[in-house]
Amino acid sequence: MPPLLFTAVILFTIAMIFYTWGVWAEKHASRLKPWHVKMFACGVGVDTLATVLTFIVVGGIVWTPHAIMGFISLALMAIHFLWALRVIRRGDERALTNFHKLSLIVWVIWMFSYLSGFASGIGKIG
């Protein structure tokens, strides 16, 4: 595995940790807090960096089912982060306490993408 791709794989895992931590901490707290939004931002940022590194290694976009799901997931994560930022800034209590429902949906979709990357990568080993 090229070192740059290995770095991307590590970064995808770090993004998963940030994003998962933020989503499940928010669910457990039953209320969106500023530090959850920071965790979402870290997850999106690190995932974006890993995606860019993957493009560099691959030499461009390769339209596979995993790549399509990855783009959709990254876009949803970015929208989720921006929406969370808006909810925090507005301070609407109802929105703050219901935001976790959106978070869980986006997290599940992103996890499918994350796991499909591992499945496709493992399929190439050997």
Does the pLDDT at position 120 exceed 80?
Answer: no
* pLDDT at residue number 1: 77
pLDDT of residue 51: 94
pLDDT digits (tens, 9 = 90+) for 59-111: 888 888 888 999 999 999 999 999 999 999 999 999 999 999 999 999 999 99
Looking at residue 61, what is its pLDDT? 85
Tell me what the mean pLDDT of segment 111-118 comes to: 89
pTM of the model: 0.90
Q: How confident is the model at residue 121 (pLDDT cuts 50, 70, 90)?
A: low
Q: What's the mean per-residue pLDDT of the chain? A: 92
- In order, the DSSP letters of the chain are --HHHHHHHHHHHHHHHHHHHHHHHHHHHTS--HHHHHHHHHHHHHHHHHHHHHHHHHTS----HHHHHHHHHHHHHHHHHHHHHHHHHH--HHHHHHHHHHHHHHHHHHHHHHHHHHHHHHHT--
So where are the chain's domains? 3-123
